[in-house]
Structure 1
Amino acid sequence: MGLLKSSSVSPELAGQSKTVPSIPSTPPSAVPSRTASPMSASSKEEKLPDGKTPDDSSKLRMFLSILKRFIGVTDIAAARFSLPAQLMEPIPNLEYWHYLDRPEAFIAIGDSEEALGRMLGCLRFWFTKDLKYVHGKPCKPYNSTLGEFFRCQWEIEDTAPSIVGEESKMNLQQTVSAPAGATTKGKAVKVSYLTEQTSHHPPVSAYYVDCPDKGIYARGFDQLSAKFTGTSVKVTAGSYNQGIFINLQRRGNEEYQMTHPAAYLGGFIRGNLYVTVADTCFVTCEKTGIKVILEYLEESYFGKTQNKVQGVVYKCDVAKDKATRIKDVKDDILARIEGTWTDKVYCSLGSAEFKKVAEKDRVLLVDVNSMRPVAKTCPPVEDQLPNESRRFWKDVTESIQTKQFTAATNVKQELEEKQRTRAAERKAQQQEWKPRFFTSATESNGKPELTEEGKMAMQGLHDGRFRLEEPQEYAAM
């Protein structure tokens, strides 16, 4: 399987706004289609009671009728209710969440020689990590099973320039220095990704991203809490999800913590699902003493959400700083952020209010309007273990793609029943499940640690060696 390679720097990442050729998106098996999957000529369509094939509106009506049962439930994510297959997109949950829709933005975070430039690099990555919500409708992937894991890799050219400050691209033992904003051509680098479902009650997964060529890695726990209000679903980070932690090894191990804002899934009444964000999140680096407060504003104009975001970048004692709102920050302001997280986001250097800075003096932080997710590469099917996401859900995925929804639901329920059976057996034997690739199901500091097997799996991805030994036992099989 080949890797997608960009032949030149993306203008959206280079601070330009001109039109560029579209980037091929990830194959249907990796990024969920927003329309019904084509049916093979030999398969039969699954019919609803009214004789119609499920469409988006009928799916939403059915989904809404199920959600109504959870009004008042504190956390429907923890309830882990099982949806019929026709309401789900054919993609595993562990593959759906990875935050690396544009990995070239991730690997360029540490390039700037200035601390402010590196923080702005973090913000550029932040706004590119979830393009699935910018260009497509949200979907419901398969619930992860305990012990299930997913791994993949991206191979990309290191061409995203520094936003502020001279840059030093330490790429495959080759250093290229250039002024901020200049286009530099670097050798292809690999970004490897590994995630494992480490807990089922509550549902928690650990993930690890590594780019040895650039000396940058990221890690964290994914756990969501969801509450249905009657018109929308509010999704927040669970207690074990303390954000994304990024480490720059070649910058004295600078660590950046990026917390997640609350999001809202709406559109049930109109039959058109959409995601809005109306919350505050933070990006901090104790080593450089820089903090960012981002405020997402749910402003509406004739009923249409504007998806505005604004922020402030400032110096402080990060460990002691208590500011939680932009208006609380008065001193040591380095830059301001403003724009639309589904389109263009700008920054202005200095403490002046953004609206008072001339347009020519504003820096385009990122333009996500014409961006699409970069394709990932997974190990060949013959090198995947039975509990590896794509192989584990293979029969369900194929049934959904051919619209055999009854068959898909039956297989899905069989897999879920096996997990319940294995859990009951362990409970009866007073056995506690232990993750394979991570040292524990959760960590109090929100930072998962790789086991020796986890480190070997990551190194194997980087070296192109995908074969893994069978585990001693499977948690859900």
Structure 2
Amino acid sequence: MGLFKSSSVSPEIAGQSKTVTPIPSTPPSAAPSRPESPMSASKEEKVPDGKTPDDSSKLRMFLSILKRFIGVSDMAAARFSLPAQLMEPIPNLEYWHYLDRPETFISIGDSEEALGRMLACLRFWFTKDLKYVHGKPCKPYNSTLGEFFRCNWEIEDTAPSIVGQENKANLQQTIAAPQGPTTKGHPGKVSYLTEQTSHHPPVSAYYVDCPDKGVSARGFDQLSAKFTGTSVKVTAGNYNQGIFVNLENRNNEEYQLTHPAAFLGGFLRGNLYITVADTCFVTCEKTGIKVILEYLEEGYFGKTQNKVQGVVFKCDTTKDKTTRIKDVKDDILARIDGVWTEKVYCSIGPAEFKKAADKYKILLIDVTPMRPVPKTCPAPEDQLPNESQRFWAGVTEAITTKQFAAATNIKQELEEKQRTRAAERKTQNREWKPRFFTNSTDPSGKPELTEEGKIAMKGMHEGRYHLEPPAEYAAMCMGV
């Protein structure tokens, strides 16, 4: 997990003055297809103690369920179903997408300098999960086999280059203005497709693409969770090797971003929160640049500080085994320092951050004013029965109208249909195969699109959402 916005700052790099203009906190071009998850409720909608009115009872029930899993090696692989009142009305595949601020994603390849592209990759990293910065953690619906989700974001290409000359040729336009010609970013479209490719273990594959900028990303989502008695430790599963970002216009540079462990705490205090206390890495083999990020969880007296520190350095990424910042001595390009829930800075050069001159320090991102950008989904009539929003529509409607018993019944019926279909395939000795991705899992962590997957992605980017029904529904009967 990582998480973070640029504001005006004028560092001097190699004698060249540079002003970094702000990334707008709410791009006007984005239009939601439906309300975002309730987890994004503002502070004004909460009672004085910081909890929503139903949180205490929910947490007590949730904690009583979690106690059954003390000593269980992986809760995520266990077969259990939560009551609907403990869940947020949003499907898991819709909830996870790493694109809370897609304008930072499409700008990764803009800098003409390799260091600038790596720093832009880090800026994307710190903004991908704003839901954990400004909202409470939530439990979405468990995905069913063959379920899929797709959406678009339309945003202006406004995120500036952090270091190096900027090249936004594909999405820039010159417009007339009273004071003379000015440059404005074209709307950039980012398309996203994800499919639940495996149920045991639970794995989903995803692909995200901005063809106009030549930027794409892919990976497998698989989590492993363990309850310690006071918190839930969440780590990446065996098939989750991180996010793989590809820059087509930069000789297909590939960046691998691995996930650190995160902790869900606050059960005893009745107010859930996320902390991160681990090390993660960002590497690019073609540029020979590696980043080590160290997250620090708590300070004195258990106070959460959410600090992050890092080092950016040159090496042979295929051979380098360095895992600690303090062990990096040579070829240091930059340092990272800050609070991942507020502001993160970088300093250019090998000097320790606190010793670096102010003119070499740059505000990498400030997430304080930023909120997730709404997504646009296909209209209900263009969605297939196994498409996330339509598949879970009955549960979502029941939860939002507080008919929790009905929601639980509908949810259990859907889960039972999945078990029935799995049993049928087992008796017939048939193996279900994903529709949009070539394999259920892959040790490399890099899923590949099938021809149908490529067609679906192209259709989304062109605004064509119609898809033919699949040859087989993995979790429901044909004709539903």
Output the TM-score relative to the length of structure 1: 0.90
How far residue 444 of structure 1 moved from its aligned partner, in angstroms, is: 1.8
Matches within 5 A, 1:74-153: 74-153=73-152
Residues 45-90 of structure 1: per-residue CA shift (max 9 Å, x gap): xxxxxxxx98111000000000000000000001141000000000
CA contact 2:173–2:183 (8 Å) conserved in 1: no
Where 1:307 maps in the other structure, the secondary structure is: strand
Residues 353-391 of structure 1: per-residue CA shift (max 9 Å, x gap): 001123443100000011000110000000000000000
How far residue 170 of structure 1 moved from its aligned partner, in angstroms, is: 3.1
How far residue 116 of structure 1 moved from its aligned partner, in angstroms, is: 0.1
Match status 1:72 vs 2:71: yes
Match status 1:31 vs 2:37: yes
- Matched residue, 1:358: 357
- Matches of 2:305 and 2:250 in 1, distance apart? 37
- Matched residue, 1:276: 275
- Matched residue, 1:228: 227
Give the residue type in structure 1 aligned to 2:98.
Y
CA contact 1:13–1:367 (8 Å) conserved in 2: no
Matches within 5 A, 1:41-440: 55-172=54-171, 185-440=184-439
- Matches of 1:213 and 1:34 in 2, distance apart? 30
In the superposition, relative to structure 1, how do residues 165 and 21 fare at CA in structure 2: closer, same or farther (>3 Å)? closer
Bigger Cα displacement from structure 2, 15-24 vs 369-378: 15-24
How far residue 30 of structure 1 moved from its aligned partner, in angstroms, is: 3.3
Bigger Cα displacement from structure 2, 76-85 vs 184-193: 184-193
CA contact 1:54–1:86 (8 Å) conserved in 2: no
- Matched residue, 1:4: none
CA contact 1:383–1:466 (8 Å) conserved in 2: yes
- Matches of 1:175 and 1:439 in 2, distance apart? 42
- Matches of 1:295 and 1:460 in 2, distance apart? 40
- Matched residue, 1:451: 450
- Matches of 2:8 and 2:103 in 1, distance apart? 9
RMSD: 2.2
- Matched residue, 1:5: none
Count of matched residue positions in the alignment of Structure 1 and Structure 2: 446
- Matched residue, 1:180: none
CA contact 1:298–1:307 (8 Å) conserved in 2: yes
In the superposition, relative to structure 1, how do residues 373 and 150 fare at CA in structure 2: closer, same or farther (>3 Å)? same
- Matches of 2:130 and 2:306 in 1, distance apart? 14
CA contact 2:421–2:474 (8 Å) conserved in 1: yes
Give the residue type in structure 1 aligned to 2:36.
A
Gap runs ≥5 in structure 1: 1-9, 37-52, 177-182
- Matches of 1:243 and 1:88 in 2, distance apart? 26
Gap runs ≥5 in structure 2: 10-18, 43-51, 176-181
CA contact 2:343–2:363 (8 Å) conserved in 1: yes
Identity %: 79
- Matches of 2:8 and 2:393 in 1, distance apart? 35
Output the TM-score relative to the length of structure 2: 0.89
How far residue 11 of structure 1 moved from its aligned partner, in angstroms, is: 4.7
CA contact 2:39–2:137 (8 Å) conserved in 1: no
How far residue 212 of structure 1 moved from its aligned partner, in angstroms, is: 0.3
Where 1:313 maps in the other structure, the secondary structure is: strand
How far residue 300 of structure 1 moved from its aligned partner, in angstroms, is: 2.5
- Matches of 2:85 and 2:352 in 1, distance apart? 49
